[in-house]
Structure 1
Amino acid sequence: MNNDAIRLRSVSRRFGSGDGAVTALDRVSLSFPAGTFTAVMGPSGSGKSTLLQCAAGLDRPTSGSVTVGGTELTTLSETRLTLLRRRRIGFVFQAFNLLPSLTAQQNVALPLRLAGRRPSAARVREVLTQVGLGERARHRPSELSGGQQQRVALARALITRPEVLFGDEPTGALDTRTGREVLALLRGMVDGEGQTVIMVTHDPVAASCADRVVFLVDGRVGGELAGAGAEAIAARMTGLESPESVESPEDVPC
């Protein structure tokens, strides 16, 4: 029985044509098992964000196949692809992307409203409590810290009970302590609720919270590490890019 939440088979993504064409992904094949936490790392321009966008149905590959829970994305119409993203995929980005005029609970309910569904007040409270903001439901973004705003964004991504949660540098705008709190939340969702998380990051400490780290180099898979600490991940990254660009952080618990 296939237990993959996401599968990519020989996925390529090219931009432009002729001599000016750029290959962002080059025949990438990867599987992301359900209920696991995967970090994606690589030097700048290695194809990390393009991989996330193709895997999440935000962009269509030039060739190859992408399946989400057995559903082939590359053959879906734009309408059906939009519906699948709304119902089965969640997103958390470095920018919180909250509407400043809405309260936390209104921001969380927004994806359901945009999909034409009536949000349950109990479900909104449930996800806000899940991220530790049950008492801040009526606060607007300006009344919340950066870490709290990212927690609202995380609750907003979880409101639809997505099969897969994608994060694009979700701790990139946070200080170290707050970033670790958000990573601990993600780790807890994987361990306690079987959530599937795929996170693009440049931070070896963030990546060390994942079950495995996939490395991309020039649009191709450049190896993996499973259960590695931050120092081992940083050492692998050092081999992929210039030595002075990567620090060797201490391992920290997630």
Structure 2
Amino acid sequence: MTTHAVQLTAVSRRYGAGGTGVTALDDVTLAFPRGSFTAVMGPSGSGKSTLLQCAAGLDRPTSGSVRIGGTELTGLGERRLTLLRRARIGFVFQSYNLLPSLTAEQNVALPLRLAGRRPSRARVRAALAEVGLAGRADHLPARLSGGQQQRVALARALITRPEVLFGDEPTGALDSTTARGVLALLRALVDDEGQTVVMVTHDPVAASAADRVVFLVDGRVHDELSAPDAETVAARTVSLESRTATGAVAC
């Protein structure tokens, strides 16, 4: 078993061709150690979401290598890539992406059903209990608050016990109190269960829950912070945004 849960080597992603093409990622080499919590930040258009999607196998890089554990993703066919994502990758979106006609329990069980496995009711309810929703299993999403819906989405992402949990602004639609609760859950998953978490965020407070922060600028890794605190992250973010606006950032 490798020490890194995810490795990107010289990854580039370009959309379009010729003079109208856009390079979203530019020769990115980055590793995410097992059992770590990494936040990815950067100005708008810096390539954060593209990085996450390429790392999770949701998008294919134009060039370079992406590995989950010891498995190279970039050469896999669509069927094998889909099976790998279902078995080894969890993804949490800002918009929750719950099916409104399914209960919380049914939403959580969905990844197992899609994988052709019969979900154990006890296992699904244990996943809901883990995120503090033991009494909400039979509720439809419309009867849950935003924070509760995000917790259901988190339980759904964790039900397969993925090697890596990716989050694309998972607290972006939540109020500050609810966001702190979700971040505490993510932190506990890393500390208590050795889960690997990679999260895109624009919020310095959210980023401060991570072990390190990776800053992207113009599709490249510009800087990192270890053991971040919210004030330092905020100052670094403001500095990058102001230097980007004046064209002073060199990557």
Which category of TM-score, normalised to the shorter sequence, fits these structures?
over 0.9
Q: Distance in 1 between matches of 2:167 and 2:160?
A: 16
The corresponding residue for 1:204 is 204
The corresponding residue for 1:94 is 94
SS in 1 for 2:216: strand
Segment drifting more, 31-40 vs 131-140? 131-140
Q: Distance in 1 between matches of 2:147 and 2:31?
A: 31
Deviation at 1:242, TM superposition (A): 2.9
Letter in 1 for 2:153: A
Structure 2 unaligned residues grouped into runs of 5+: 246-251
Letter in 2 for 1:32: F
The corresponding residue for 2:193 is 193
The TM-score with structure 2 as length reference comes to 0.95
Deviation at 1:226, TM superposition (A): 0.4
Identical amino acids, percent of aligned pairs: 76
Letter in 2 for 1:23: T
Q: Distance in 2 between matches of 1:140 and 1:88?
A: 27
Segment drifting more, 198-207 vs 137-146? 137-146
Letter in 1 for 2:30: L
Q: Distance in 2 between matches of 1:204 and 1:61?
A: 28
Q: Distance in 2 between matches of 1:125 and 1:64?
A: 40
SS in 1 for 2:61: coil
The corresponding residue for 2:75 is 75
Q: Distance in 2 between matches of 1:182 and 1:65?
A: 31
The corresponding residue for 1:166 is 166
The corresponding residue for 1:251 is none
Q: Distance in 2 between matches of 1:191 and 1:112?
A: 26
SS in 1 for 2:116: coil
Structure 1 unaligned residues grouped into runs of 5+: 246-254
SS in 2 for 1:40: strand
The corresponding residue for 1:248 is none
SS in 1 for 2:76: coil
The corresponding residue for 1:16 is 16
The corresponding residue for 2:110 is 110
Q: Distance in 2 between matches of 1:16 and 1:102?
A: 38
2:233 is the alignment partner of 1:233: yes
Deviation at 1:6, TM superposition (A): 0.1
SS in 1 for 2:98: coil
The corresponding residue for 2:26 is 26
- Count matched residues: 244
Deviation per residue, 1:39-74 (Å, 9 max, x gap):
000000000000000000001101000000110000
The corresponding residue for 2:249 is none
Deviation at 1:144, TM superposition (A): 1.0
Runs of 4+ in 1 over 2 A off after TM superposition: none
Let me know the Cα RMSD of the aligned residues.
1.2
Map 1:232-251; keep pairs closer than 5 Å.
232-242=232-242
Deviation at 1:193, TM superposition (A): 0.3
Letter in 2 for 1:119: P
